[in-house]
Amino acid sequence: MKDLKKLRIKNISLTMTVLLFLIMFIFGSVRYDHFLSLSTFLNLFNDNAYLMIAGIGITFVLITGGIDISISSTIAFTGVFMAYCLQHGMPSFVVIPLALIIGIIVGAVQGSLIHYFKLQPFIVTLAGQFLMRGLCVVISEASIPITDPFFKFMALGRIQIRLGDSKAFNGKIYYYVLIFIAVLCTALYVLKKTPFGRAVYAVGGSEQSAELMGLNVARTKIGAYIISSFCAALAGVVFSFYTLAGYGLQNMGMELDAISSAVIGGTLLTGGVGSVFGTAVGAMIQGIIQTIVTYENLNTWWTKVTIAGLLCFFIVVQRIIAVRAEAMKGKAVAAA
């Protein structure tokens, strides 16, 4: 009974998300031939690994109660930057760490502006978004192809998975999906098991309390923005593996996808509540919408519109749950 209650209040969003994913998968399987297969499932990872990574990063910021709308630009910028550097003969083992360091710097600057000068997160990250998009075009207006052997290796290298003889039981995952899995596991560990991770939740619950309880709020908040930008840079690297090019106009508006992933996965935009596992499932739901839109042969813009609709729906559901919980709390106080 106790567990049931816990499930109801805390994990209702996540349960809904997983159910939604299953329903959509079943819907696709019934409606289209060849949909029901291991490769459809694995392709969700192959095609959305970068979104999942970026989504996990932004989840940290959302849990602290902030927002980061600069991530799509960070992804595009790291992509263009790496492509440009590789084009000019720099080796990949220098370029990739450099891109990740840029991510860390971007996050540190944004986080510091937000924390130390009490600027609104949306203004700072909006400016960051435009700044980096602008810098993309400053580096190159055209798409730069990547021909580096390591990138090619990561782009094409994959693990075949055979669970049976039938074609439906065959699939493959690319190596870069392993990066996503590593990020997910690290994030899960950090949020659940480290003082920093718990401080992220505490700051989201009440920044003032966190401060008075002796937690280092500055480090926590800036850390969250660094993680967000770092993950975005990493997503940029993965995205370059995926596309083998750097293009400044890539991924416009992807921050909404990342935020949607988090919200669909149960993260509250008001802060304090969220899980990176949920975010990953949220991203997969978006992947499945994309797949269905492709199967239906619809205009790809339907994906965006559907995801936005889904985001609205989940936010409304969250509001209803919050209002209900408030009412229930009122009753509990009355009963006490």
Partner 1 sequence: MKTKLAKLSGYQAFWPVVIFLTIILFNTIMTGGEFLSITIVDGHFYGRIIDIFRNGGKLMILAAGMTMVLATGGTDISVGSVMAISGAIACSIIKGVLLPGLNGNVAAAIILAIIAGIICGLWNGLLVSQIKIQPIVATMILLVAGRGIAQLITNGKIVTINSDAYYFINGGYILGLPFPLYIVLFLVGMLLIFVNRTAFGLFLESIGCNPLASKFAGIKVNLYLLAIYTISGAFAAVAGLIESAGIKGADCNNAGLNIELDAILAVAIGGTNLMGGRFSIFASVIGALIVQSITTTVLALGVPAAYIRVLKALLIIIICLAQSNRFKLSFKKAKVAEKKEAVVL
Partner 2 sequence: MSTQTKLLTMKGISKSFGKAVIALDDVQFELESGEIHALLGENGAGKSTLIKVLTGVEERDKGEVELDGKKIHPKSTNEAQQVGISTVYQEVNLCPNLSVAENIYIGRAPKTKMGGIDWKTMTEDAAKLLEKFDLKLDVSKSLDNYSVAVQQMVAIARASDIKAKVLILDEPTSSLSKVEVEKLFTIMKRLRSEGMGIIFVTHFLDQVYEVTDRITVLRNGRYVGTYKTCDLPRVELVSKMIGKDYAVLNQSLKEGQAEKEGTRTGDELISMKNVSHQGSISQMDLSISKGEVLGLSGLLGSGRSETARVLFGIDQVNEGEIYINGESVNLKHPIDAIRKDLAFCPENRKTEGIIGDLSIRDNMVLALQAKKGLFKKISKKEAQAIADEYIEKLEIKTPNADQLIKNLSGGNQQKVILARWLATNPELLMLDEPTRGIDIGTKAEIQKIVIDLAAQGMAVLFISSELDEELRCCRRIVVLKDMERVGEVSGDNISEGAVMQIMAGGETK
Contacting positions for partner 1 (CB under 8 A): 67, 69, 113, 116-120, 122-124, 126-131, 133-135, 137-138, 141, 207-208, 211, 218, 253, 255-256, 259, 269, 299, 301-302, 304-305, 307-309, 311-312, 315-316, 319
Indicate which of partner 1, partner 2, none lies near residue 301 (CB less than 5 to 8 Å, by partner kind).
partner 1
| 11 interacts with partner 2 by CB under 8 A | no
**Residue whose structure tokens are 């390591």:** 150
In whole angstroms, how close is the CB of 181 to partner 2 at the nearest point? 19
Q: How many residues bind to partner 2 according to rule CB under 8 A?
A: 34
CA distance 243 to 217: 38
**Which residue's CB is nearer to partner 2, number 199 or number 227?**
199
Q: At what angle do helices 12-31 and 301-335 cross, to 10 degrees?
A: 150
| 210 interacts with partner 2 by CB under 8 A | yes
| 211 interacts with partner 2 by CB under 8 A | yes
Whether 285 and 264 have beta carbons less than 8 Å apart is answered as: yes
Q: Which of 156, 187, 185, 145 is nearest to 58 (CA)?
A: 187
Residues 6+ apart with CB under 8 A from 69: 122, 125, 126, 129, 255
| 91 interacts with partner 2 by CB under 8 A | no
Reading the block at residue 115, the tokens are 């924390």
Separation of first and last alpha carbons in the chain: 20
In whole angstroms, how close is the CB of 67 to partner 2 at the nearest point? 18
Task: Enumerate binding residues for partner 2 (CB under 8 A).
Answer: 2, 6, 10, 189, 192-195, 198-199, 201-202, 204-206, 208-216, 272-273, 327, 329-334, 336
